[in-house]
Structure 1
Amino acid sequence: MRRTGLKILAFAAAIAACTTPAAAQLDGNADEAKAGAYQLPDLLVAADGRRVRNARDWRKRRAELIALFEANIYGTAPRPLRQRYIVDEQERAALGGLAVRRQVTILLDGRHDGPQMRVLLYLPAHARGPVSVFVGPNFHGNQAIHPDPAIHITPGWVTPATGIRKGSATLHSRGIDASEWPVEAILKAGYGVATYFTGDLYPDADDKVAESIQPYFGTSASDPQHWGAIATWAWGLSRVYDYLATDRAVDRHRVIVFGHSRYGKAALWAGARDERFAMVIANNSGEGGAALYRRNFGETIRVMNNYWFAPRFKTFAERENKLPVDAHMLIALAAPRPVYIASATEDWWADPQGEFLAARGADPVYRLLGAGELDASDMPPPDRPIQSRIGYHIRTGPHALTASDWNHFIAFADRWLKPR
């Protein structure tokens, strides 16, 4: 059965108190009393019933878990094609001399008339060698993360927001998401930042599969393991890594994958599948990301978007206990690399308690591999980060990606990735 401390139960009451009638209309479960009892599947028992006892056993168990997540939740993504990289624009004194800016088109099949994605990269202008880079997807086009007038405006369909007119980004969309991307602060801390617009690969709406890259790969939407949008976005993060590994100004051994909200789900899955990422960070990722399915709190399988996941996933609605995996296993797939889970006090929809418990549930693998554990048995107070190998914080406030979150992410990277 689940194990919860008194501090966690007290925090759950505080989360429930934050619930508003407007939030309740989202039709998730906001009642902690309705979060049913559960028993998590054992991370360290293989499919044949054998106990995982060492790193070699874990490699086999890890492959089993990846296959289970593909089959039942995210779907199976195709192998990358022979891609090419075109540097469309470069400025060595961007942002008032603070940054080197590169804008790169990835030709996903090597052809100009084939599928492609656009990457925006900022690097510290005065770095003395290759730098660590944070890589994450963005919601409204590369031009939305910063008001820099040189950033190319995305030509693809964009979800409604300021400066988006009839699905198209305009000049007025420049910098609309800048509060989520403190680029200057990241650069001054010695890190680079890279991003791509998810709409290049799969526009973020449930009727856009025909406009995604999926038809190009000829995959069948009727296949129970058909890759969903989250798997597509995660696949895209790995394609960004492919490019970064060719850039001599980037330390390919210290690339950090991160994401917020639904893109936090994609970041966790990208980090699970692609061990080239040195660190994994998920902010307010909720169910389908870091929150436990079996708690049935906040966003549940029944109300989640169909297009995010493999078709088989929805068959587990109202029967989450039948899933062969849960979020603690997803987090554990990052082991022994540093992984950081972030929640927010008012974000009941993402189930902060479930995110913490999943992070705690990944402990056995980290301990097995000699990588430490989550350095807390109970949920910490708001705004007091845990910076152990499995990191965690819960920020005061709503579902968001803030400068405060970034301060914790940078401190975490400083602790575990900075050259010594």
Structure 2
Amino acid sequence: MRKLGLTFLMMCLSLTAVFAQDYKNRINENESKVPQFTLPDVLTCNNGKKVKTIKDWETIRRLELLEIFSSLEYGRTPTEKIKVSYDLLSEDPNALNGKATRKQVLFTFTNGRKKIEAILLLYLPNKVNGKAPVFIGYNFLGNQSTTTEKPIFASPSMHLSEDPSSEVWIRASQKRRWPFEMIIDRGYAVATMFYGDIYPDLNGLRDYSVISLFSDYDKRSKNHDEWNAIGAWAWGSSRIADYIIDNESRIDGNRIALLGHSRQGKAALWAGAQDTRFKVVISNCSGCGGAALSKRVFGENVARITTTFPHWFCPAFNQYAGNEASMPFDQHELLALIAPRHLYVASAEEDMWADQKGEYLGAYYTKDVYKLYGMHGLDSPIPPAIEQPIHNDVGYHIRRGIHDVTNFDWTQYLNYCDKYMK
């Protein structure tokens, strides 16, 4: 009997794997094949009552939505405090040809038994009167990849996911995504950190992430609502904000913009939903699990993302693989949690994988929440033309090109932040 039961279990697991693979391969990039779907009303509470006031939104519906995303998609962010210390590794007041002061700060997170290290690369504009606003964002290939400046320390965790011979170690390999001089010239500070320092982006490296420092780490590994990489990256963004607000007198802690690209666009939205200190939240090509509506099942879908990256979301999210129609929520409700702060969503014309229309609609359907605050969301369900940005309280653009961060994107983000944050 025991052998039969084990055989049956193995058959079930095999069938589940086959179904997951089947759904993973069903990638739709044809708009005519988008299924009919109904979005949940962002202003209808769980008991069926309609939100009519800001108080109802902030004390009832907003909390309900935070609970939905915590329990069904990203996992629960712990309230436990992890000790962090800061060590200034280097400071150069003449960086970027004298335009900026460059700092490199070592973050050491510890629970007293174990520690995780991360390095923040920070540029402060030298020619700003008063305190400067700041952009915070993770980089993908280490701090040394963002600039040609030579005295940049390699990020502590890169050896976990990158072979020493890999080309990703090449200095300035992603400099195009970080136009530091452009940002500094516009009067903004900019802070970046390698995302792998917070959670190395490979399945199986959870023990090397900040999640492993929390006292209930072993217990959480068994829970359907356990937080994973996206939750950890969001948590890390808030820890960068902690440092800047408490330690950098040349930065205005009330004017922080959080920028994320791709998987970090997902994390930026989740961070912005939870942490109201981020006054502008920017999602760049964030796609499935980010700004794009899941129920459209266009481009990367839930089955594909949860099988390819099983360490990103909480286990409960797996139940919607190939079953997006059953989701009691969608991403427009995540984006609505940014209100009344400012939200900007951006897409790229050739980035079908991220579902450009779905990203736009995710931002569009926040309009009723922003209207509660007397703010101006997106006016039409029809996306704008290529490179015709909308800079309402909710902003959007779609540019030419591929899945990337370009100078066109940065120009729009700077213009938008000039309007609402400077």
TM-score (norm 1): 0.89
Q: Which residue of 2 aligns with 1:253?
A: 254
Q: Which residue of 2 aligns with 1:236?
A: 236
**How far does residue 222 in structure 1 lie from its aligned partner after superposition?**
2.1
User: Which range moved further: 400-409 or 316-325?
Assistant: 316-325
User: Which range moved further: 64-73 or 108-117?
Assistant: 108-117
Q: Which residue of 1 aligns with 2:158?
A: 157
User: Is structure 2 residue 276 aligned with structure 1 residue 275?
Assistant: yes
SS at match of 1:248: coil
Q: Which residue of 2 aligns with 1:22?
A: none
Q: Which residue of 2 aligns with 1:323?
A: 327
Please list, as runs of the form range in 1=range in 2, the aligned pairs for 1:403-418 lying within 5 A after superposition.
403-418=407-422
State percent identity of aligned pairs.
39
Instruction: List per-residue Cα deviations over 1:334-388 (Å, max 9, x = no partner).
Output: 0011100000111000000001111110100000111221144421100010000
Q: Cα distance 1:167–1:273, how it changes in 2: closer, same or farther (>3 A)?
A: farther
In 1, Cα distance between equivalents of 2:294 and 2:370 = 21
SS at match of 1:308: coil
User: Is structure 2 residue 49 aligned with structure 1 residue 55?
Assistant: no
In 1, Cα distance between equivalents of 2:120 and 2:379 = 36
Please list, as runs of the form range in 1=range in 2, the aligned pairs for 1:52-91 lying within 5 A after superposition.
52-59=51-58, 60-79=60-79, 80-91=81-92
Corresponding letter in the other structure for 2:40: P
Q: Cα distance 1:159–1:260, how it changes in 2: closer, same or farther (>3 A)?
A: farther
Q: Cα distance 1:158–1:283, how it changes in 2: closer, same or farther (>3 A)?
A: farther
Q: Which residue of 2 aligns with 1:378?
A: 382
Contact 1:133 1:191 (8 Å CA) reproduced = yes
Please list, as runs of the form range in 1=range in 2, the aligned pairs for 1:1-40 lying within 5 A after superposition.
28-40=27-39
SS at match of 2:212: helix
Q: Cα distance 1:26–1:152, how it changes in 2: closer, same or farther (>3 A)?
A: farther
Q: Cα distance 1:27–1:204, how it changes in 2: closer, same or farther (>3 A)?
A: farther
**How far does residue 110 in structure 1 lie from its aligned partner after superposition?**
7.8
Q: Which residue of 2 aligns with 1:9?
A: none
Corresponding letter in the other structure for 1:64: E
Q: Which residue of 2 aligns with 1:147?
A: 148
**How far does residue 405 in structure 1 lie from its aligned partner after superposition?**
0.5
Contact 1:84 1:110 (8 Å CA) reproduced = no
Contact 1:155 1:168 (8 Å CA) reproduced = no
User: Is structure 2 residue 72 aligned with structure 1 residue 44?
Assistant: no
Q: Which residue of 2 aligns with 1:340?
A: 344
Corresponding letter in the other structure for 2:164: R
In 2, Cα distance between equivalents of 1:340 and 1:89 = 33
**How far does residue 106 in structure 1 lie from its aligned partner after superposition?**
1.9
**How far does residue 125 in structure 1 lie from its aligned partner after superposition?**
1.2
In 1, Cα distance between equivalents of 2:300 and 2:37 = 17
Corresponding letter in the other structure for 2:298: F
Contact 1:159 1:204 (8 Å CA) reproduced = no
SS at match of 1:58: helix
RMSD: 1.9
SS at match of 1:196: strand
Contact 2:82 2:213 (8 Å CA) reproduced = no
In 2, Cα distance between equivalents of 1:275 and 1:43 = 19
Q: Cα distance 1:387–1:26, how it changes in 2: closer, same or farther (>3 A)?
A: farther
In 2, Cα distance between equivalents of 1:384 and 1:302 = 33
SS at match of 1:83: strand
Instruction: List per-residue Cα deviations over 1:38-58 (Å, max 9, x = no partner).
Output: 111111111122111111100
User: Which range moved further: 278-287 or 75-84?
Assistant: 75-84
Contact 1:158 1:203 (8 Å CA) reproduced = no
Q: Which residue of 1 aligns with 2:104?
A: 103
In 1, Cα distance between equivalents of 2:250 and 2:371 = 34
Q: Which residue of 2 aligns with 1:128?
A: 129
**How far does residue 27 in structure 1 lie from its aligned partner after superposition?**
5.4
Contact 1:158 1:169 (8 Å CA) reproduced = no
Corresponding letter in the other structure for 1:230: I
Contact 1:375 1:386 (8 Å CA) reproduced = no
Instruction: List per-residue Cα deviations over 1:81-109 (Å, max 9, x = no partner).
Output: 23222222111111110111111122223
Q: Which runs of 5+ in 2 are unaligned?
A: 1-23
SS at match of 2:182: helix
Q: Which residue of 2 aligns with 1:92?
A: 93
User: Which range moved further: 29-38 or 295-304?
Assistant: 29-38
SS at match of 2:391: coil
Corresponding letter in the other structure for 1:391: G
In 1, Cα distance between equivalents of 2:166 and 2:115 = 22
Contact 2:361 2:381 (8 Å CA) reproduced = no
**How far does residue 111 in structure 1 lie from its aligned partner after superposition?**
6.3
Q: Cα distance 1:414–1:110, how it changes in 2: closer, same or farther (>3 A)?
A: farther
SS at match of 1:231: helix
User: Is structure 2 residue 171 aligned with structure 1 residue 174?
Assistant: yes
User: Which range moved further: 251-260 or 149-158?
Assistant: 149-158
Corresponding letter in the other structure for 2:46: A
**How far does residue 148 in structure 1 lie from its aligned partner after superposition?**
1.0
Contact 2:108 2:116 (8 Å CA) reproduced = yes
In 1, Cα distance between equivalents of 2:391 and 2:187 = 19
User: Is structure 2 residue 263 aligned with structure 1 residue 265?
Assistant: no
Corresponding letter in the other structure for 1:336: P
User: Is structure 2 residue 197 aligned with structure 1 residue 200?
Assistant: yes
Corresponding letter in the other structure for 1:197: F
In 1, Cα distance between equivalents of 2:257 and 2:43 = 26
**How far does residue 166 in structure 1 lie from its aligned partner after superposition?**
5.1
In 2, Cα distance between equivalents of 1:202 and 1:143 = 18
User: Which range moved further: 144-153 or 255-264?
Assistant: 144-153
**How far does residue 159 in structure 1 lie from its aligned partner after superposition?**
8.4
Q: Which runs of 5+ in 1 are unaligned?
A: 1-24
User: Which range moved further: 287-296 or 94-103?
Assistant: 94-103
In 1, Cα distance between equivalents of 2:151 and 2:129 = 25
SS at match of 1:184: helix
In 1, Cα distance between equivalents of 2:111 and 2:131 = 26
Question: Which one has a bigger Cα radius of gyration?
Answer: 2
